Amino acid sequence: LKEVFQHQEFRPFQEEIIYSVLSGKHSLGILPTGAGKSLCYQIPGLMLPGVTIVVSPLIALMSDQMKGLQKRDIKVAGIFGNMRPEQIDIALDNCKYGGVKFLFLSPERLNSFLLKTRIEQMEVSLFVIDEAHCVSQWGHDFRPSYLNIQVLREWHPGTPCLALTATCTPAVKKDILELLNIPKATVFQGS
């Protein structure tokens, strides 16, 4: 927290979520915008061996998070948009052999057989589902590929999953836990 991110103290629920993730538990963090949800996966991602895979529907948000980590000399990769196959191959090689700590993906990429094969071969320490409310609110209509996120759990069944969102009704919370196949996840909910 202090050395890499230059923060002196945690915001509410950050530390609890981080400890939950580090202890290997599936977790759901429901924290307001600006509460520091990204640190809840970035700190454990740096502490754990292997790669943390972050799935988000918002490419601009992923890009900002990648730039922020790169400014801190943390190796990251992203697979989204109109990347050429050779660019994807290089990014995945870097995740397996090149010390990449964070791999950012759009949910549509989870339909790729190449991605499945390569992720199955990686040491994956944590799955992060950012904007997790989209699984419920948008997944059925706006981004149907978001409903395919549970395949990550099939590829690495022992890897903990952290779902993060700023908005969540009780029905959406239930949907998130069921659709991500983490029904017994520890839930942390801010105001």
* 14-59 residue pLDDT tens: 999 999 999 999 999 999 887 789 999 999 999 999 999 999 888 8
Grouping H, G, I as helix, E, B as strand and the rest as coil, residue 45 is helix
Q: Given this model, what pLDDT does residue 179 score?
A: 86
Q: Is the pTM of this model over 0.85?
A: yes
> In this model, does residue 142 exceed pLDDT 70?
no
For residue 83, the model assigns a pLDDT of 85
Q: What is the pLDDT of residue 140?
A: 53
